[in-house]
A and B are shown apart, each in its own frame.
Chain A
């Protein structure tokens, strides 16, 4: 019995995919239909402080949709740790939700699976047209030159959050605008058990977001024009070395941050242990840690020199959430109506206000609520100095391979080993060899 159980355990992972496939009787190649026009299943991503909070925020809006159309939406808020696996299982089995949220960096990877409805001109027409959306947000919804696999729902950008009290105590008048200024301020701030900058060294995605921007500033990309991985260019190596160097060389990051992966750096920031973090839409989380909105300031992420802009002065990725329709939906018409509802001006204003994000819908962005100093920084960054992460099918593998390399380098730095250019290049070479 145990032999058999052990044998089965050995292939438990493959079994997971396999049983998922056994479960459904739907032909995988089957197209979309309109067999159950009165219900929809919606997988929302976790945008608020908790799953429960998301349910409370979304349920009244879904009720509104039901009143308008008679379509009942069954909501499930899926935690980030599970969302991608759930989508993969749904893709494999053909049994999934009708409408779902995806992290916009997954767009091209999921597009390649063919599980998501392509947004061609005809589908866009049903939700009010392609040109309702901000172009940079649409660029993060699928590979260039293809019909997007999703439409933008919430847009976010990185910003520098700084602790006003710690800055005042150290006699620093304004947030740093260049990396040199950040390091200089950092050396003043890092003392007596307090540190200048917080990082999430074991969070692979966050590592990627940071080194992607730094690579842009060094004039490099992690993928070449033909979509092939190019992790070991001088610019990419310099970017990774610079990011890990905040801990290794400049010593303005606490070594303990190397093992952070559950947003502990936000907690440290709220508890006056670190003075700065580079983050996207941190406001609700900081507030939940007991920080008052006037205790932190928001500034654009530093650049090498000058002011944020395009090219080498890019200072954020285009972060955000996209909304996709599962191709196997049995209520295509209802799904499109639901996407139209969620991307309508009114809902865009309500939801983005609540979540502290920026609407990717141009007309909704004009609302004065998005003119507050905090959101203005994010909005301007998105409008002028944000670039989408590489929209290539291998993006997901890239995040794992390079994100892990950065994590290991942080572990080395925390243990006091010097981070040399050769070491960084060696780790990135290894990461590149892991790519398919």
Chain B
């Protein structure tokens, strides 16, 4: 999607310097050429302005806040908050102090969680999409069922999971412990070490239909003849998947994995709704951690500094990822 948007940008042609002098006599009229060239920009203008207003300006304000001591004493008139220079950043990344240690721990947990969740989402989505390629009775119904988690409102879905994960009355323990007898004691899912598993399950459940949807759409574009030719040549299902399906999905996967990663890494709703304000250490995702550092402790300066660090990290990851994958594709295409 990133590529597509950039591809639509109008070609930058040098404007003729003479065009500006078109104000002569009666109504000012721009030369036809300039008008023609200006039209795409004019049409883009509302989008650009909104983009500035909705995305860039808050981002810049957030960056500015990260250099200020924006605590409860100053939020009412935050122009008056004193500048702190890089102090907020120093506190955030000082690994010998608790704030820095917690941030690092939260960051590592988030990385592990993102890798696991994205991997599983992609695997499930792709597998299901490939199986759904075959025409069989009830395929449409099954597709619709698979997409349900994606269509449900996040709040309702995650709260339901939170109920299911309750230790004493939840359905998960009822099945695992009461009916199957797999666990000696009723485990906690929303406290302690198991909370990581609970979080991953909910995140995968919530996000994999998106991977399924995208891969399913991409599969429609692979010509059937390729498979027919391959099976005539004696390729089995597994070989067909490896040699035809996966390479054809490559451009889609490139964008899909990136989007899944960014969504998962920044996921706030799932951990917040499952665990509330104080998430257990093993499921303390960075978005909740930043929320807690700013809203709960009323220290918006430090929270902003952490946000900016996260932003920088995600930009670096995204850039490196795009660079690596697009270079790989170019050589593959040759």
Contacts and interface: CB of A to CB of B under 8 A. Distances in A.
Interface of A: 1-15, 17-19, 21-22, 28-29, 85, 88, 91-92, 94, 109-110, 112-115, 202, 204, 254-256, 258-259, 261, 393, 396-397, 400-401, 403-404, 407-408, 411, 414-415, 430, 433-434, 436
B291 A13 contact: yes
B296 A403 contact: no
Contacts of A403: 278
Nearest to B319: A3
Contacts of B304: 11, 14
A414 B189 CA distance: 12
B280 A204 contact: no
B72 A112 contact: yes
B188 A14 contact: no
B308 A256 contact: no
Contacts of A113: 72-73, 75-76
What's the dominant secondary structure at chain B's contact region? Answer: helix
Given A113-B75, A256-B168, A258-B191, A4 B296 contact: no
A397 B295 CA distance: 10
B288 to A, nearest CB: 10
Contact of A1 (B2, B57, B65): B2
Interface stretch (B24-32, B229-237, B309-317, B324-332): B309-317
B110 to A, nearest CB: 12
A396 B297 contact: yes
Given A1-B2, A88-B298, A393 B61 contact: no
B315 A7 contact: yes
Contacts of A10: 266, 307, 310-311, 314
A415 B102 CA distance: 23
Contacts of B78: 21, 28, 92
B5 A92 contact: no
B171 to A, nearest CB: 15
A75 to B, nearest CB: 25
Given A18-B57, A18-B61, A88-B298, A109 B72 contact: yes
A307 B186 CA distance: 40
B119 interface: no
B258 interface: yes
**What is the interface of chain A mostly: helix, strand, loop, or mixed?**
helix
Interface of B: 1-2, 5, 51, 54-55, 57-59, 61-63, 65-66, 71-73, 75-79, 97-99, 102, 166-168, 186, 188, 190-192, 255, 258-259, 262, 266, 268, 276-278, 280-281, 287, 290-292, 294-300, 303-304, 307-308, 310-311, 314-315, 318
Contacts of A436: 71, 297, 299
B75 A2 contact: no
Given A85-B295, A88-B75, A400-B277, A430 B98 contact: yes
A115 B74 CA distance: 10
A4 B298 contact: no
B162 to A, nearest CB: 9
Given A8-B58, A14-B300, A2 B259 contact: yes
B298 A109 contact: yes
Contact of B98 (A3, A109, A434): A434
Nearest to A16: B58
Given A10-B266, A261-B276, A29 B77 contact: yes
B65 A18 contact: yes
A192 to B, nearest CB: 15
Nearest to A256: B168
28 contacts: A2-B258, A2-B259, A6-B318, A7-B315, A9-B266, A11-B59, A12-B268, A15-B61, A15-B62, A18-B57, A28-B77, A91-B76, A92-B76, A114-B76, A202-B191, A204-B277, A255-B167, A256-B167, A258-B188, A258-B191, A393-B72, A400-B292, A404-B278, A407-B278, A411-B192, A414-B188, A414-B191, A415-B191
A15 B58 CA distance: 5
Given A13-B295, A408-B280, 6 more contacts: A1-B2, A2-B255, A28-B77, A112-B73, A415-B192, A433-B98
A256 B168 CA distance: 6
Contact of B311 (A7, A91, A396): A7
Contacts of A9: 262, 266
Contacts of B191: 202, 258-259, 411, 414-415
Contacts of A204: 277-278
Contact of A259 (B51, B73, B102, B190): B190
Contacts of B307: 10-11, 13-14
